[in-house]
Chains A and B, each alone.
Chain A
Amino acid sequence: MMRLPSVSSLRSKKRLLIICGGLGVLLIAGYIVWSQYTWGQFTPTYTAWHQGVKDDIGKIIALPTTNVKEQDAVATRLVELSSKIDAEHQAVCVVTPIVQWQQEVIPAFNDARMACKKQVASIAEFQKRLTTVIAYSKDDQALTKIIASVPQVSELADDTWEKQVVAWDIAIKSTEKRVIADDFKPTQQLALKQMNAVKSAWQEIISAHQAKDKQKYLAAQTTLASAIDGFSEVATTSQRTFAKLSNELEVAVRSVRTP
């Protein structure tokens, strides 16, 4: 024979159900409020980050570049901006998984997330271009430093010619040792070609000098002048490449700065 639950037992189960239901309602209400807060913060957060990047770009553009010190300051700020974007951009559009599912069912959330990803993609593209330009300018400045390390004297007596050969040899080896960006390779290859040509011309001059061979000496002088003139091609190539890279950067930065 089945035993019926007592009245007090039924009352306590009902109480338990009410308590559980109340807790459930409270949990759901809490989740709703938290979701609302999370999605509410989403757009202002990424917008603020985007605005921060734009402000940083604006500040860099406004910096003076009249001397090397100021130009170096610009370079430092560009590197800092690139590092900042690199470190932060992947986390900007991330929403906690507990509420992320909501974008699948609420179009407004999905739109917000897509808009965020689009903005971040343009900033990531800008960062990629910026990294390329920074790498090129670093290579450019390093090669400049190497070339500038060769003593440039307006008049050279025969007892200093051997030093020119040594100086160019060191410059060539230092250049060859450098690991450079792909974009800089054509410039560097041309520079190395001219550096070798200059070194070789100096060796010819010294050889003709030692042999006291006037014809060879004069011919070697012409070769040296031609090798030095050939550096203008290096400058042209470098300018052309750098102009292309900076134009690409400018296109990318316009995309970032456009509302």
Chain B
Amino acid sequence: MCMMCSVTYATVGAGLLAFSPSTPGVTTAPSPQTLASQVTSLQRLPSTIAAFKMPTLIEPQWLKDQNAAELAAAQAKKVASTSRVVTYDVMTKGMLTASFADFRTQANATLNDGRGWSRMGVTFQEVQSGGSFTLVLSEASQVTSFSSGCGSEYSCRVGRYVIINQDRWQGATPSWNNAGGSLRDYRHMVVNHETGHWLGHGHASCSGAGQPAQVMQQQSIDLQGCAFNAWPTAGELWSSQLGITR
């Protein structure tokens, strides 16, 4: 029997050697990816959270009302503390076809309108002569006589002279008219704009499509995507000429 056993072992052993364990090779093609990178793509929480932003809460009406009341109170306080009178005189240049009386009345109304520069706490008072600036209604061709920097097409400001081009006073501009703007609003705008230069402002650009134009933007030429606006915006309520800061 022992002999039989040894035969059995020898035979089986030989069989095993014939089918000896072979080390399998890695047949998978090399890949730049790893399993870790694959499973990482299954994680969704961080990207969902990254897109999670604080929403803008639309101001409820009561808050709008409170804010408006607070702003009005602050402005009233500012007006009360800074109220001052600015004088100006009025003259004409060249041949007039427009009513000078209407010009004076409407210009004064614009300057002292509650939507205008008077929000800085300033009252504009017309005087016979010796005003702080001179408001001029000028024949279009005469505008250039104030400075070569002025053109006959638009209004201008040169030093103390705030010059309103009679053609614009009477007919606004094509772009204004085409957009349906009224002549009265154009007159508000042009008086505010040119007076704004005297107050110390340069030209402004449109702050964003659809936004009301700043009054110091050259709205007669190009709105740059803004909406017509005849009145100084809150950000424009300052004057280096009068020493009024924002």
Contact = CB atoms under 8 A, between A and B. Distances in A.
A42 to B, nearest CB: 8
A157 B58 CA distance: 5
Interface string A230-259: 011011101100110011011001000111
B42 A137 contact: yes
A50 B31 contact: no
User: Which of A105, A155, A235: most chain B Cβ within 10 A?
Assistant: A235
Interface stretch (A9-17, A83-91, A108-116, A166-174): A108-116
A147 B51 CA distance: 11
A195 B45 CA distance: 14
Contacts of B39: 74, 78, 133, 137, 246, 249
A51 B27 contact: yes
Contacts of B13: 106, 108
B56 A54 contact: no
A55 B28 CA distance: 6
Nearest to A155: B56
Contact of B12 (A47, A106, A242, A253): A106
Contacts of A141: 42, 44-45
Interface in B31-82: 31, 33-36, 38-46, 48-58, 60, 62-63, 66
B210 to A, nearest CB: 16
A211 B17 CA distance: 90
Interface string A21-41: 000000010011001110111
Interface in B147-192: none
B35 A65 contact: no
Contacts of B54: 224-225, 228-229
A44 interface: yes
A212 interface: yes
Given A55-B28, A112-B16, A156 B53 contact: no
A40 B19 contact: yes
Contacts of B42: 71, 74-75, 137, 140-141
Nearest to A40: B19
Nearest to A107: B13
Contacts of A235: 45-46, 49-50
Contacts of B43: 137, 140, 238-239, 242
A209 B60 contact: yes
Contacts of B19: 39-44
A221 B49 CA distance: 19
B56 A214 contact: no
A22 B7 CA distance: 16
A139 B187 CA distance: 68
User: Which of B9, B27, B60: most chain A Cβ within 10 A?
Assistant: B60
Contacts of B24: 47, 50-51, 54, 259
B33 A62 contact: yes
Q: Give the 9 A-B residue pairs with the shortest CB-CB distance, closest first.
A: A58-B28, A36-B15, A40-B19, A43-B21, A65-B41, A250-B36, A235-B46, A137-B42, A246-B36
Given A36-B11, A158-B57, A212-B63, 11 more contacts: A28-B8, A40-B15, A44-B19, A61-B28, A74-B39, A112-B21, A156-B58, A231-B52, A242-B43, A246-B39, A250-B36
21 contacts: A32-B7, A32-B12, A39-B15, A39-B16, A51-B24, A54-B24, A54-B26, A54-B28, A58-B27, A58-B31, A61-B33, A75-B42, A102-B12, A109-B12, A137-B39, A144-B45, A209-B60, A212-B63, A214-B63, A250-B35, A258-B26
